[in-house]
């Protein structure tokens, strides 16, 4: 079942309320976080709501999905920089509890192993936030990635580099590889919220609806998970079978 909202602001309000409920129930919860354009309204709304409510976020642990290899946390296109800008610097989090893969590590293999182990050691992810690429990638798990993969280094596909080049001055500045949580790490979360917005993702969602479970479209791995919410705006849902789309009654101020 797909949950269809009027727009990305309504999705953000819904998810912000959900995140706050989780934190109220479990102040030391571990969250799995994503970057990208899709998540910007979600973090903006969460920051606004938590500032208004005064909810304590200092016990929250977080693990980000991915980071570019070769970019420092000070690089404006690194995911560490993105997280600082949109979330971490906006609320009184405990920086020691906030984790991203280190794009500058020289011990890539060891770092990846330790990252997956740290997620498990934190007690596991209570809620994993996910976006999806137009080619179906989650994190940077590109088509063909095995579903049993743990944190690993990936060469980015030309499609993904092209999609992300809008954030860089030139195509040749887009990194060629990244560290990403694996699909098995993602599936180990107790709950997953996949957010899909924009007309350019409509065909990707149609392929998800109509296709089977296949590494050719990595996010079809989510069909194997028992607790996934797929939250779409009208544009991303425009090609889906209406009988599979639910439109939740919105009970919060937009
Ligand atoms: C980002 C990530 C990626 C994005 C995906 C969609 O941490 O893991 O999988 O979620 O590329 O990106 P946007 O939201 O920019 O369309």
Q: Mutate which of 37, 133, 193 to test ligand 1's pocket (most atoms within 8 Å of Cβ)?
A: 133
| Residue whose tokens read 């690194």 | 78
What CA–CA distances, in Å, run from 208 to 136, 202, 239? Answer: 8, 10, 11
Tens digit of pLDDT for each residue in 214-238?
Answer: 999 999 999 999 999 999 999 999 9
Mind listing the pLDDT tens digit for each residue in 114-157? Answer: 999 999 999 999 999 999 999 999 999 999 999 999 999 999 87
Ligand 1, residue 180: give the atom nearest the CA. 8
Name the token pair of 228.
């996934």
CA of 70 to the centre of ligand 1 (A): 18
Q: 217: CA distance to ligand 1 center in Å? A: 15
186 lines ligand 1 (CB under 6 A): no
Tell me the pTM. Answer: 0.95
149-207 pLDDT, tens digit per residue, is 999 999 987 877 898 888 888 898 899 999 999 999 999 999 999 999 999 999 999 99
- What number does the ligand 1 atom closest to the CA of 35 have? 7
Residues 6 or more apart in contact with residue 172 via CB below 8 angstroms: none
**Residue located via tokens 């992300």:** 164
Write down the residue that tokens 């596909």 correspond to: 157
Confidence category of residue 254, pLDDT binned at 50, 70, 90: low
CA 34 to centroid of ligand 1, rounded, Å:
7
Burial call 211-243: b when 16+ CB within 10 Å, e when fewer: eeeebebbbbbbeebeebbbbbbbbbbebbeee
Contacts of 242 (CB under 8 A, 6+ apart): none
Q: β-pairing, 127-130 with 30-33?
A: parallel
């Amino acid at each position: 079942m797909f949950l269809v909202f009027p727009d990305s602001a309504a999705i953000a309000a819904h998810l912000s309320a959900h995140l706050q409920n989780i934190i109220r129930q479990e102040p030391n919860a571990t969250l799995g976080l994503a970057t990208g354009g899709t998540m910007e309204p979600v973090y903006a709304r969460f920051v606004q709501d938590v500032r208004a409510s005064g909810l304590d976020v200092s016990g929250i642990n977080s693990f980000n999905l991915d980071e570019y290899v070769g970019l420092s946390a000070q690089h404006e296109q690194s995911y560490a920089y993105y997280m600082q800008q949109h979330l971490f610097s906006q609320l009184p989090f405990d920086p020691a509890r906030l984790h991203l893969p280190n794009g500058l590590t020289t011990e890539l293999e060891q770092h990846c192993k330790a990252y997956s182990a740290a997620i498990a050691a934190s007690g596991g992810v209570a809620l994993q936030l996910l976006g999806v690429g137009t080619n179906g990638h989650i994190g940077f798990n590109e088509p063909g990635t095995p579903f049993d993969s743990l944190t690993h280094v990936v060469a980015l596909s030309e499609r993904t580099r092209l999609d992300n080049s809008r954030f860089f001055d030139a195509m040749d500045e887009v990194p060629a590889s990244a560290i990403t949580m694996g699909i098995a790490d993602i599936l180990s979360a107790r709950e997953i919220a996949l957010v899909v917005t924009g007309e350019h993702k409509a065909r990707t969602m149609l392929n998800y609806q109509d296709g089977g479970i296949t590494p050719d479209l990595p996010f079809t791995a989510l069909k194997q998970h028992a607790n996934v919410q797929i939250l779409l705006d009208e544009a991303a849902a425009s090609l889906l079978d209406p009988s599979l789309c639910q439109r939740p009654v919105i009970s919060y101020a937009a």
